[in-house]
Amino acid sequence: MARTVAAFKVDHFQFLDPDGKLIDEQKSPSLARDFDRLIELYRRMVLTRVFDKKAVALQRTGKLGTYASCLGHEAAHVAIGSAMQPEDCFAPMYREYGVQFCRGVKMTDVLLYWGGDERGSNYAGAPHDFAWSVPIATQCLHAAGAALAYKLRGEKRVAVSVVGDGGSSKGDFLEAINAGSAWKLPLILVIVNNQWAISVPRSKQNSAATLAQKGIAGGLPSIQVDGNDLIACLWAMEKAIAAARDGHGSFVIEMMTYRISDHTTADDARRYRPNDEVEEAWRKEPIARLRSYLTDQGAWDEEREQALLEDCARKVQKAADDYIDTVTNDPQPVTAMFDYMFAELPHDLAEQRACAERFPEDGGHH
C-alpha cells in the first residue's frame, strides 16, 4: 500500500502572447500598464540587440575574437538585470549582456573581454559582480557563496546567477540548488533555456518535462515562464528577488527562450538544426512582441522607433570606437600578465616578469 508523501507541479507563466496581445487583461500584473517602465526596458532590449549585431560584425571583420551572441535572449536578460538592486550580485555565464548593461557593465567592457583584453572584466560600473564564467555552471556556486556571505553578515542583498539548459545538467547547478535549500540563501538561479547547448538540443539533456523541476527536487519554489515575454520574466524576477530579500530563501526560474544565433561566432548552427525551427523562433522573439504590445497600446510609434534605433547605433558605434582606440593606443604591456596574479608578486614570478620585460614585443615567430 503506497501513500503519496510529496506531490509537485510546475506552473508556466505567460502574459504576452507571441503577437503582443495580453492573454488575460484582468490577470496581468500591474506592470503591464506601466508603460513608462516598459518603454525604458524596451529601449534596453533594443540597445542590447543593436550592440550584439555590432559585436558579431566586429568579429566577422577581424576586429574582435570569438563572441557569444545573445540574440533572442533580450527579454530574459533585461528582466533579470532590471529586477536587481545595485547592491545585489550577479554571477553571469557568458552571454548575459542585457543583464550586465542594467548592472552598469559598459559595452566597451564586453568588447574588451571578447577582444582579448582582461580589462574588460574590471567592471567599474558593477564593482562586486562576478565576471563571465566560461566553465559551465560554475558561476551558480559563486552566487551561492555570495548569498551565504550576505546572509551571514545580515545584509539584505540577493545573489542572482544564470545557467543554460545545458548547464542545468551539471553538478555545480544542482549543488547550488542544494546549498540554497540547505541554508535558505537569498539566491535566484535562472535557467535561460534557449533550447540548445551548442549542437545538443534540450531533448538530449534529459527527459524531464521541465528544467524548473530540478529546483523543486532540491526543495526550492520553482516556476517556468515564457522567456520571450518581458512582462512574465520581470514579474517572476521581482517576486522572487523580493521574497529572497525578505528571508524566504532561494528560487529557480526557468525562462523558455531560443538561441536564435549560433552558439558563438566560431559555430555554424546550420550544421545541426533545421531552419524552420529558427524561423519559428523569430516569430516568437521578444522585441517584436513587446513593440507590438506597446504600439497597440498607443505607447510607441514608428517615429520613436527610428529615433531609438539611431540613438542605439550612435551609442554602440561610440563603444566600438572606444574599444578599438583602447586596444590600439593603450594596449596592456607584457608585464600586465604578472601584475594581478597575487596581491604581492612572489619572487619566482618577479623573476619571470623581469624576463618578459626583456622581450616586450615578442610572440610567435618574433
Partner 1 sequence: MAELTLIEGVTLALARAMEEDPAVVILGEDVGVNGGVFRATAGLQQRFGDERVLDTPLAEVMIAGMSVGMAAQGMKPVAEAQFCGFTMPMVDQIMCHAGRMRNRTRGRLSCPMVLRFPSGGGIHAPEHHSESPEALFAHMPGIRVVIPSSPSRAYGLLLAAIRDPDPVIFMEPKRIYRWQREEVVDDGEDLPLDVCFTLRDGSDITLVTWGAMIKETLAAADALEKEGVSTEVIDVATISPLDLDTIVESVGRTGRCVIVQEAPRHCGVASEIAAGLADAGIWGLLAPVKRVCGYDTVMPLYRNELKYMPSVRRILDAASQVLEVS
Catalytic residues: 259, 263, 272
Which one, 135 or 360, has the nearer CB to partner 1?
Answer: 135
> Is 348 among the residues that bind partner 1 (CB under 8 A)?
yes
> Is 347 among the residues that bind partner 1 (CB under 8 A)?
yes
> Is 135 among the residues that bind partner 1 (CB under 8 A)?
yes
> Is 131 among the residues that bind partner 1 (CB under 8 A)?
yes
Q: Which of 5, 7, 36, 127 binds partner 1 (CB under 8 A)?
A: 127
> Is 340 among the residues that bind partner 1 (CB under 8 A)?
yes
Contact predicate 132/121, CB 8 Å: yes
> Is 343 among the residues that bind partner 1 (CB under 8 A)?
yes
Q: Which of 341, 354, 355, 360 binds partner 1 (CB under 8 A)?
A: 341
- Residue 237 to residue 231: CA distance in whole angstroms: 10
> Is 130 among the residues that bind partner 1 (CB under 8 A)?
yes
- Residue 152 to residue 132: CA distance in whole angstroms: 25
* H runs (alpha helix) in the chain: 35-60, 74-83, 97-103, 107-114, 138-153, 171-183, 213-217, 230-245, 275-284, 286-296, 302-329, 336-339, 347-358
Closest contact distance (angstroms) between CB of 250 and partner 1 is 13
- Residue 166 to residue 77: CA distance in whole angstroms: 17
- Residue 89 to residue 81: CA distance in whole angstroms: 10
Contact predicate 42/294, CB 8 Å: yes
Site for partner 1 in 169-198 (CB under 8 A): 171-172, 175-176, 178-179, 182
Which one, 43 or 119, has the nearer CB to partner 1?
Answer: 119
Q: Which of 14, 121, 264, 292 binds partner 1 (CB under 8 A)?
A: 121
> Is 323 among the residues that bind partner 1 (CB under 8 A)?
no
> Is 167 among the residues that bind partner 1 (CB under 8 A)?
no
Task: Give, in order, the Cα–Cα distances in Å from 187 to each of 93, 147, 300.
Answer: 16, 6, 35
Stretch that binds partner 1, among 249-257, 265-273, 291-299, 336-344 (CB under 8 A): 336-344
CB-CB neighbours of 209 under 10 Å: 9
Closest contact distance (angstroms) between CB of 121 and partner 1 is 5
> Is 6 among the residues that bind partner 1 (CB under 8 A)?
no
Which one, 330 or 348, has the nearer CB to partner 1?
Answer: 348
Q: Which of 47, 89, 191, 256 binds partner 1 (CB under 8 A)?
A: 89
Compute φ and ψ for 137, nearest 5 degrees.
70, -5
> Is 144 among the residues that bind partner 1 (CB under 8 A)?
yes
Q: Write out the H or E segment, with its range, that includes residue 225.
A: strand 222-226
C-alpha cell, 252: 529557480
> Is 220 among the residues that bind partner 1 (CB under 8 A)?
no
Closest contact distance (angstroms) between CB of 339 and partner 1 is 8
Compute φ and ψ for 312, nearest 5 degrees.
-65, -45
> Is 149 among the residues that bind partner 1 (CB under 8 A)?
yes
Q: Which of 33, 37, 128, 270 binds partner 1 (CB under 8 A)?
A: 128
Only one residue has cell 551539471, namely 170
Compute φ and ψ for 278, nearest 5 degrees.
-70, -40
Q: What residues contact residue 223 under an 8 Å CB cut-off, 6+ apart? A: 10, 11, 12, 13, 212, 236, 251, 252, 253, 254
Binding site for partner 1 (CB under 8 A): 89, 91, 118-119, 121-123, 127-128, 130-131, 133-135, 138, 140-150, 152-153, 159, 171-172, 175-176, 178-179, 182, 337, 340-343, 346-349
